[in-house]
Amino acid sequence: KHSLLLVVLLVSNMLLTKEGVTSLPICPNGSVNCQLSLEELFDRAVKLSHYIHFLSSEMFNEFDERYAQGRGFIAKAVNGCHTASLTTPEDKEQAQQIHHEDLLNLILGVLRSWNDPLVHLASEVQRIKEAPETILWKAVEIEEQNKRLLEGMEKIVGRVHSGEVGNDIYTPWEGLPSLQLADEDSRLFAFYNLLHCLRRDSHKIDNYLKVLKCRLIHDNNC
Amino acid sequence: MDLRHLLFTLALICANDSHSASDDLLQWPQISKCRSPEMETFSCYWTAGNFYNLTAPRIIQLLYKKSNEEDWKECPDYITSGQNSCYFNASYTSVWTPYCVQLASENEVFDKKCFSVDEIVLPDPPVHLNWTLLNTSQTGIHGDIQVRWDPPPTADVRKGWITLEYELQYKEVNETKWKELKPRLSTMVPLYSLKTARDYEIRIRSRQRTSEKFGEFSEILYVSFSQIGIGCDHCTDEVEFPWFLVVVFGVCGLAVTVISILLSKQPRLKMLIFPPVPVPKIKGIDPDLLKKGKLDEVNSILACHDNYKTQLYNDDLWVEFIELDIEDPDEKNRASDTDRLLSEEHLKSHGCLGAKDDDSGRASCCEPDIPETDFSASDTCDATSDSDQFKKATEKEEDLLCLDRQDNESLPSIANTDPQRRHRNTQSQNSHPWAPFADSIESPRLSVHTQMSNQNSLTSTDFYAQVSDITPAGRVVLSPGQKSKLGRAQHEGCTEQNFTMDNTYFCEADVKKCIAVTSPEENEPHVQEQSYNEDAYFTTESLTTTVANLGAPTAEPPSSEMPVADYTSIHIVHSPQGLVLNATALPVPDKEFNVSCGYVSTDQLNKIMP
């Protein structure tokens, strides 16, 4: 029994301490009504977003190596992502000009829009023939971390936002049928596309959060 | 001729290659790479190939298209990034938007590439490398430095638009291989334990944090300690820890220590480190010998014990001695008991001396200082050996009992002793002259007893001989205890000198035959008397009978031998020759002796014995 508990503890510690994501206490002092500083909230958010992007990037690379070689996916992978309808800043100028509250809302919108696809990704990727274990657990991990980041962002928004928290920024995802196609080539292409979009959007969010952090916390002097 | 031929063919092949390359194959223009240094602009580079040389001069164009557009547009800037390049400034760059570029000339597409800007980020190298000395070692041979640099100026790190990682590499000036440090986010890093006598080169490159590819290396930074005046001119030779010497000396020291312990004569030390393994040992008997069935060796052990004659085996070690004894005519013709006794003693001592002094238990038996007479001298031989002796005795009739020769022989004095001499008052002691023996020998005793009883009826014999005196020469003088006659002895006389000299015990009866040949009397009632002798196996009844009968024989004129007292006590012990017996009627002049009924206990003997 003790050995099993120890193993569980070790495994959980291992998973939590990946790539800078440490298990930080919610309230360091242990008090009931504690509040983390905005800086602390941003630090955690940046760490999470970096971790999610790291996992997405690796997952995409593995999938590309394993399934996409020789299928000409790259040529076709210009298909838009479902979050393309959200007008997000495309360069530094735009990112610097947008108001931080709007940017925060956009971040929230993107995160919410990915909630659903991540859930289905984690479940559908297991049906891929001979899917490597690393892809499987990464999909599950990304989905979980995305939820945590969403919670954190809502906290930040609650702190920063003076007015109401807008819930209307949201894009539904309708790509589930394409993940369940009978034809293996089409199905794999759908996965490839989804993973490509995931990598891109996670990079976007990571960048926006760093910009916001430098702007709001460090006053543009990171 | 062959060499020229070879050269000629080689030249032909080379000409063919170059010729075919130029004529047949047109190296198409290719897009070599597209790169964005800061995620705000990007450039694409291509190679022209041999296009211009071969065909009519045509203009190569780079067209691009964003994913959400339909038309291909031409490159806005062919110049800024150099020849065969296309530069897209910030206004043309959308970071997360997929682009496609293609290399074309008049509707002929040479190459095409699709990407998004965030995927092609390769930062510029860091700038402003410098180093400072942190500290030096006490000997001045090594030193620590801190290297600092600035991020590439194009990358906007301050606003957090791009996050960079740096990798530092360094090496000594005359080395070829670079040492790498782990990529890190900070723009300074310490380098420890650099040799002050050597010069170093340092270079750094950077990459976007989530990417895998690094940008170009920075300019090389030269580190020279002599510039600051710290250089150690005389420390050119590296002083490394002499691990080899340490190991060699350690091994030698250990070996010397072990050998010295082994060879040291200090028993304590040796016992401490190499404790002796105790060997199980029963005094007088080595169980291994019994297991192996080496009876001859067992016999040799038992030969040390009193009155046990070894078996005659062909490979017996002491056959030689035994045979000598047998063949020696003097042995048989000896008239005196003393001589016979001594010869046996000689035999026994031979037997004992022939035994090896090892842990088998024989050594303990061999105590030549005590004469192997009838009374027991060796207390070290315990009852176990006695029992074995008796068992053997029963097997071989001729050995101890002399039963095949005499009728009324009993085991003469099994002088061997029962270390626990008990004073038993058994009814049947007459039939068992060894009444107080241990229980272990019950069975042989019984068998002997049966044999005894068979022959008891015939005549009465003297069971014991008495040591009357010890000559100065060390010989023991024996005399029969009582005037008892041997029935057969009268008839047989001393002519029958069939002393089985191979027996440890000499047959008393034989002796008495010779001695008492002239004595006509036949003392029936004295059959039972035990001439007590120093062999202290008495029983009360026998004593009483002896006493009772004492009177009768005394009336008769004694035979050749002189009258001796019934009891003798041990007066003096001449070590190692033997005992001088004090022929007193009553024992115990010496208070040490608790001679009850003539017993001399083992403990008392022990006290006496040297």
- List pLDDT tens digits, range B317-334: 554 454 444 454 554 554
- Asked if A200 and B116 come within 8 Å (Cβ–Cβ), the reply is yes
- Asked if A204 and B156 come within 8 Å (Cβ–Cβ), the reply is no
Q: How far is CA A200 from CA A73, A84, A197, A203, in A?
A: 16, 11, 5, 5
- Asked if B90 and A78 come within 8 Å (Cβ–Cβ), the reply is no
> Which residue, chain included where needed, has tokens 């800061």?
B38
Mean pLDDT of B308-314: 50
Give the angle subtended at the CA of B292 by the CAs of B289 and B297, to the nearest 5°. 40
Of B355 and A189, the structure prediction assigns the larger pLDDT to: A189
Which of B122, B149, B127, B129 has the alpha carbon at shortest distance from B216? B122
The answer to whether the CB of B370 falls within 8 A of the CB of B306 is no
> Which residue, chain included where needed, has tokens 């696809």?
A117
**What pLDDT is stored for residue A212 in this prediction?**
93
Distance CA B343, CA A111 (A): 120
| Interface A-B: count of C-beta contacts within 8 A | 63
Distance CA A53, CA A207 (A): 10
**What pLDDT is stored for residue B167 in this prediction?**
95
Q: Using one digit for the tens of pLDDT, what is the confidence trace for B472-516?
A: 776 766 666 554 444 444 444 444 444 444 444 444 444 454 444
**What pLDDT is stored for residue B343 in this prediction?**
54
Q: Classify B331 in phi/psi space as left (phi over 0), alpha (psi -120 to 50) or beta.
A: alpha
> Which residue, chain included where needed, has tokens 């049928």?
A177
Partners of A88 on chain B (C-beta within 8 Å) are 96
Candidate from B67, B94, B159 with C-beta closest to A91: B94
pTM above 0.80, yes or no: no
Mean pLDDT of B79-107: 90
Gap from B76 CA to chain A (nearest CA, Å): 18
- Asked if A78 and B163 come within 8 Å (Cβ–Cβ), the reply is no
The answer to whether the CB of B569 falls within 8 A of the CB of B593 is yes
**What pLDDT is stored for residue B402 in this prediction?**
46
Long-range contacts of B56-62 (CB under 8 A, 24+ apart): B58/B105, B58/B106, B59/B105, B60/B29, B60/B84, B60/B103, B60/B104, B60/B105, B60/B110, B61/B103, B61/B104, B61/B105, B62/B31, B62/B86, B62/B101, B62/B102, B62/B103, B62/B104
**What's the helix, strand, coil split of chain A in %, to 5?**
70, 0, 30
**What pLDDT is stored for residue B399 in this prediction?**
43
Which of B578, B576, B577, B501 has the alpha carbon at shortest distance from B534? B578
- Asked if A210 and B68 come within 8 Å (Cβ–Cβ), the reply is no
Q: A100 and chain B: CB distance < 8 Å anywhere? A: no
Mean pLDDT of B208-224: 91
- Using DSSP, state whether B555 is helix, strand or coil: helix
The neighbouring-strand residues paired with B600 are: none
Q: Roughly what angle, to the nearest 10 degrees, separates helices A38-63 and A133-160?
A: 150
**What pLDDT is stored for residue B487 in this prediction?**
43
Q: Using one digit for the tens of pLDDT, what is the confidence trace for B536-582?
A: 444 444 444 444 444 444 444 444 444 555 555 555 555 555 555 55
At B275, the pLDDT band (50, 70, 90 cuts) reads confident
Distance CA A104, CA A98 (A): 10
Gap from A77 CA to chain B (nearest CA, Å): 9
> Which residue, chain included where needed, has tokens 């009728």?
B407
Gap from A57 CA to chain B (nearest CA, Å): 8
- Asked if B114 and A75 come within 8 Å (Cβ–Cβ), the reply is yes
pLDDT at B353 over 90: no
A-chain residue closest to B89, CA distance: A91
- Asked if A213 and B160 come within 8 Å (Cβ–Cβ), the reply is yes
H or E element in which residue B204 lies: strand B199-208
Q: Using one digit for the tens of pLDDT, what is the confidence trace for A84-112?
A: 888 899 999 999 999 988 999 999 999 99
**DSSP track, A4-35:** HHHHHHHHHHHHHTSTT-----SSTT--TT--
- Asked if B90 and A203 come within 8 Å (Cβ–Cβ), the reply is no
The answer to whether the CB of A170 falls within 8 A of the CB of A86 is no
pLDDT at B221 over 90: yes
The answer to whether the CB of B162 falls within 8 A of the CB of B38 is yes
| Chain centre distance of CA B569 | 56
pLDDT at B223 over 80: yes
pLDDT at B123 over 50: yes
- Asked if B159 and A54 come within 8 Å (Cβ–Cβ), the reply is no
Q: A78 and chain B: CB distance < 8 Å anywhere? A: yes
- Asked if A222 and B157 come within 8 Å (Cβ–Cβ), the reply is yes
Which of B120, B77, B155 has the alpha carbon at shortest distance from A92? B155
At B86, the pLDDT band (50, 70, 90 cuts) reads very high
pLDDT at B150 over 80: yes
- Asked if A50 and B158 come within 8 Å (Cβ–Cβ), the reply is no
The answer to whether the CB of B434 falls within 8 A of the CB of B535 is no
- Asked if A222 and B100 come within 8 Å (Cβ–Cβ), the reply is no
User: What string of H, E and C letters represents the secondary structure of B320-343?
Assistant: HHHHHHHHCHHHHHCCCHHHHHHH
Cis peptide preceding B576, ω within 30 of 0 = yes
Q: A169 and chain B: CB distance < 8 Å anywhere? A: no
Q: A90 and chain B: CB distance < 8 Å anywhere? A: yes
- Asked if B93 and A206 come within 8 Å (Cβ–Cβ), the reply is no
In the predicted model, residues of chain A with pLDDT beneath 70 are 1, 7-34, 74-79, 162-167
Partners of A198 on chain B (C-beta within 8 Å) are none
Partners of B158 on chain A (C-beta within 8 Å) are 214, 220-222
H or E element in which residue A40 lies: helix A38-63
Partners of B90 on chain A (C-beta within 8 Å) are 91-93
Q: A206 and chain B: CB distance < 8 Å anywhere? A: yes
Gap from B181 CA to chain A (nearest CA, Å): 18
B-chain residue closest to A50, CA distance: B210
